[in-house]
């Protein structure tokens, strides 16, 4: 039996209106640089300051605290990591870095694995929840996560940056260097980071083999970014990233050779933007290319076997923004996207492609200085399943007298079948239709006590049709009936003084598939309490208590597939730093302070106690 919405919805979700938030600019929710308080879709911004204060090493770690987001990882750092927004599927989340779509074309459902994204080169992460296909097309039923890399400096002068050395539990070592500089004409940034750990065994106690072995992980990430302004009103952009990683995992009792996955992934983003007609027209041309290869080695009935995956994507987009109408920004764009998925194993090989062409229109409006919003429409034409048209309207109203923000949105979205689901020789179904959704939200944010207290609530609802599932009788993918998700995202925050603040986030999520069962790995209740304390300018302390409620899952390795219930758990993470002077800083972090044993995914152990310390030197 489902519980009713808890009374804690008196807390809130989204951005609170404060002097600080009025200066925060976001781009993902509307496609244009927009003050956060003027955006209706629920948007969370994780800043560089947040990353450094809490010492997040991975993107997945940072996203755990976002309202409406649940992260499930099969063990420790580097292990497969899924993410769910508002109860939708993991493949209903569009993931971008600098606007480059990086969802994997070779995974069976097209979901992105967050296991290899580190934070060293990240300036901020924008998380937009709710249907976003009007701007971004397929994969954006649940929302969009846009990771924006660090940029160079226009101040001129010598090269700046930092060097970091850290180590700790499980024989973990990290080295990182970041350099940046530039002037008014050109800027540049370079980041190189490496982490190496012996790790822990990924298997829960009932699934540990004898002897128990640790599952190690190594990741090297190189990120570059540059901008060039040859003349006024003309800008060129170039950014890219290369990741080389190795992940060990558990597969069988006799692990010879040791099961492991080698990954190489990269992307290149290029763009040219011009302001024309005295600034009334902004035209932007973008070309992106991304690639990811995975080579998995494992034991197959005593014989070494391997599987190779090669994901490729090419994108071209022409976007135009027009400002000639007062109180309106009109946007029109065309996008071309080509996906390619190559897989090979000891038993089979395949190579499949699909192309999507898209047209989109949007009006971003503002009236009376307190009513803002967007309305838009998009049509996508896919070579595999045909065409799909989506639309969205999203207004927000600011009540200045009471310092209240009221927001709402309604939109449609879709998710194209993956290349594997369409064309796999064994289980593919070329007659699959796109997954479709309708989503709505309404909420408020409120400031009280001279902006020291912030609270509010956002209710959301999603209805999804034609979800794709696997038929265990025919061994084919097929479209199934409706799925519904609904819930409340909430937060309350209080600034006690300039040195101490606290924030409580809570999400209640109710999911139901056609047969009345809840969706797998979606907790009904999830909450986090974040405390930040700066007793002096040199000392920074923070703590995060994270609670995940019980949720359904399937028993690891069961056939036929059997459901079970995973228990709730609470973890505590602590972080602190001390600034010796303008250049030298020492940092420390404790993960899972109480060494709580839990299973984020059935059969896989959650991260145990870990302690880490590091030195950072500014150049």
Q: Which residues, listed in sequence order, are joined to residue 146 by a DSSP beta bridge?
A: 96, 126
Chain centre distance of CA 238: 22
Q: Do 466 and 479 form a contact (C-beta atoms < 8 A)?
A: yes
Per-residue confidence band for 20, with pLDDT thresholds at 50, 70 and 90: very low
Higher pLDDT, 456 or 212: 456
Nearest-Å Rg of the Cα atoms of the chain is: 24
Give the mean pLDDT of 219-242.
96
Antiparallel, parallel or unpaired: β 143-149 and 122-129: antiparallel
3-state secondary structure (DSSP) of residue 232: coil
Kindly tell me if the per-residue pLDDT of 308 is higher than 80. yes
Answer yes or no: is pLDDT of 516 > 90: no
Q: For residue range 172-187, what is the model confidence (pLDDT) as tens digits?
A: 999 999 999 999 999 9
Q: Report residue 409's pLDDT band, with 50, 70 and 90 as the boundaries.
A: very high
Tokens matching residue 339: 């996906």
Report residue 257's pLDDT band, with 50, 70 and 90 as the boundaries. low
Q: Over 70: is that where the pLDDT of 2 sits?
A: no
**Average pLDDT value for residue range 185-201:** 95
pLDDT tens by residue, 310-357? 999 999 999 999 999 999 999 999 999 999 999 887 777 889 999 999
C-alpha 392/C-alpha 341 separation (Å) is 31
Question: Would the pLDDT of 36 be above 50?
Answer: yes
pLDDT, position 532: 97
By C-alpha distance, which of 567, 548, 460 is closest to 64? 548
Of 12-21, 102-111, 166-175, least confident by mean pLDDT is 12-21
Which pTM does this prediction carry? 0.94
pLDDT attached to residue 55: 97
Rounded mean pLDDT, 222-245: 96
Look at residue 15 and tell me whether its pLDDT is greater than 50: no
Count of Cβ atoms closer than 10 Å to residue 534 Cβ: 16
Closest CA relative to residue 217, chosen from 120, 50, 74: 74
Q: Given this model, what pLDDT does residue 570 score?
A: 98
Confidence label for 137 from pLDDT (cuts 50, 70 and 90): very high
More confident position, 213 or 165: 165
Higher pLDDT, 420 or 379: 379
Residue 377 pLDDT class (50, 70, 90 cuts) = very high
Distance CA 250, CA 238 (A): 39
Q: How far apart are CA 335 and CA 137, in angstroms?
A: 10
The pLDDT-based confidence of 10 (bands split at 50, 70, 90) is very low
Whats the size of the chain, residue-wise?
619
Fill in the DSSP letter of residue 601.
Answer: B
Given this model, what pLDDT does residue 40 score?
95
How far apart, in Å, do the first and last CA atoms of the chain sit? 58
Q: Counting beta carbons within 10 angstroms of the beta carbon of residue 305, is it exposed (0 to 12), middle (13 to 18) or buried (19 or more)? A: middle
16 band by pLDDT with thresholds 50, 70 and 90: very low
Span of 300-304, 392-396, 521-525 with lowest mean pLDDT: 300-304
Checking if the pLDDT of 5 tops 50, the result is no
Name which residue leads in pLDDT, 23 or 35.
Answer: 35
Kindly state the average pLDDT of the residues 580-600.
96
Decide if pLDDT at 17 tops 80.
no
Question: Contact, 275 vs 282, CB < 8 A?
Answer: yes
- CA–CA distance from 340 to each of 41, 107, 346, 422 (Å)? 32, 12, 21, 13
* pLDDT at res. 306: 82
Q: Return the H-helix or E-strand segment holding 420.
A: helix 419-423
Structural domain spans, the chain: 11-618
State percent of the chain over pLDDT 90.
Answer: 79
Rounded Cα distance between 572 and 16, Å, is 25
What pLDDT does residue 224 have? Answer: 97
Grouping H, G, I as helix, E, B as strand and the rest as coil, residue 419 is helix
- Average pLDDT, integer, range 487-514: 95
Q: Which of 206, 321, 313, 248 is nearest to 599 (CA)?
A: 206
Mean pLDDT of the chain: 91
pLDDT of residue 386 exceeding 90: no
- Residue 475: predicted pLDDT: 85
Instruction: State the pLDDT confidence band at 300, using cuts at 50, 70 and 90.
Output: low
Return the H-helix or E-strand segment holding 540.
strand 539-548
Fold adopted by 11-618: Maltoporin; Chain A (2.40.170)
């Amino acid at each position: 039996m489902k519980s009713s919405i808890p009374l804690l919805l008196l807390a809130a979700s989204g951005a609170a209106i404060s002097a600080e938030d009025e200066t925060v600019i976001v781009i993902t929710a509307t496609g244009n640089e927009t003050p956060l308080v003027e955006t209706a879709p629920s948007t969370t911004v994780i800043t560089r300051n947040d990353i450094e204060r809490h010492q997040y090493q991975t993107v997945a770690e940072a996203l755990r605290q976002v309202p409406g987001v649940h992260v499930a990882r099969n063990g420790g750092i580097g292990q497969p990591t899924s993410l769910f927004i508002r109860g939708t599927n993991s493949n209903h989340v569009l993931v971008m870095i600098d606007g480059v779509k990086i969802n994997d074309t070779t995974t069976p459902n097209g979901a992105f694995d967050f296991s290899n994204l580190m934070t060293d080169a990240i300036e901020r992460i924008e998380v937009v929840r709710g249907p976003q296909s009007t701007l971004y097309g397929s994969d954006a039923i649940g929302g969009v996560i846009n990771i924006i890399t660090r940029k160079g400096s226009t101040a001129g002068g010598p090269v700046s940056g930092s060097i970091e050395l850290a180590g700790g539990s499980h024989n973990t070592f990290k080295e990182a260097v970041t350099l940046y500089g530039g002037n008014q004409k050109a800027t540049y940034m370079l980041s190189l980071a490496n982490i190496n750990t012996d790790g822990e065994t990924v298997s829960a106690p009932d699934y540990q083999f004898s002897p128990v072995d640790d599952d190690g992980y190594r990741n090297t990430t190189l990120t570059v970014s540059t901008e060039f302004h040859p003349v006024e009103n003309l800008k060129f952009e170039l950014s890219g990233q290369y990741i080389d990683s190795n992940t060990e995992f558990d597969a069988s009792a006799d692990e010879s050779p040791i099961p492991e996955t080698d990954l190489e992934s990269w992307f290149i983003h290029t763009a040219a933007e011009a302001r024309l007609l005295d600034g009334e027209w902004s035209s932007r041309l973008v070309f992106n290319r991304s690639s990811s290869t995975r080579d998995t080695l494992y034991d197959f009935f005593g014989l070494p076997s391997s599987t190779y995956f090669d994901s490729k994507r090419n994108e071209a987009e022409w976007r135009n923004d027009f400002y000639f109408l007062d109180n309106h920004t009109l946007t029109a764009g065309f996008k071309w996207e080509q996906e390619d998925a190559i897989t090979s194993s000891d038993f089979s090989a395949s190579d499949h492609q699909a192309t999507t062409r898209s047209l989109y229109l949007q009006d971003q409006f503002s009236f009376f200085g307190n009513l803002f919003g967007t309305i838009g429409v998009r049509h996508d034409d896919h070579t595999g399943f045909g065409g799909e048209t989506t639309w969205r309207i999203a207004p927000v109203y600011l009540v200045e007298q009471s310092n209240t923000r009221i927001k709402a949105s309604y939109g449609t979205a879709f998710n194209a079948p993956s290349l594997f689901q369409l064309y796999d020789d064994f289980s593919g179904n070329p007659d699959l239709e796109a997954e479709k959704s309708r989503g709505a939200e309404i909420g408020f944010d409120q400031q009280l006590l001279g902006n020291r207290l912030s609270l509010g609530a956002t209710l959301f609802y999603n209805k999804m049709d034609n979800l794709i599932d696997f038929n265990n009788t025919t061994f084919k993918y097929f479209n199934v009936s409706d799925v519904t998700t609904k819930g409340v995202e909430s937060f309350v925050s209080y600034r006690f003084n300039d040195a101490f603040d606290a924030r409580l986030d809570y999400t209640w999520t109710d999911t139901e598939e056609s047969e009345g069962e809840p969706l797998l790995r979606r907790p009904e209740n999830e909450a986090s309490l974040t405390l930040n304390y700066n007793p002096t300018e040199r000392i920074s302390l923070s703590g995060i208590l994270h609670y995940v409620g019980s949720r359904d899952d399937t028993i690891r390795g069961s056939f036929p597939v059997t459901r079970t219930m995973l228990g709730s758990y609470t973890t505590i993470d602590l972080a602190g730093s001390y600034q010796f002077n303008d250049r030298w800083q020492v940092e420390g972090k404790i993960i899972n302070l109480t060494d709580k044993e839990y299973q984020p995914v059935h059969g896989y152990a959650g991260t145990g106690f870990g302690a880490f310390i590091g030195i950072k030197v500014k150049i």
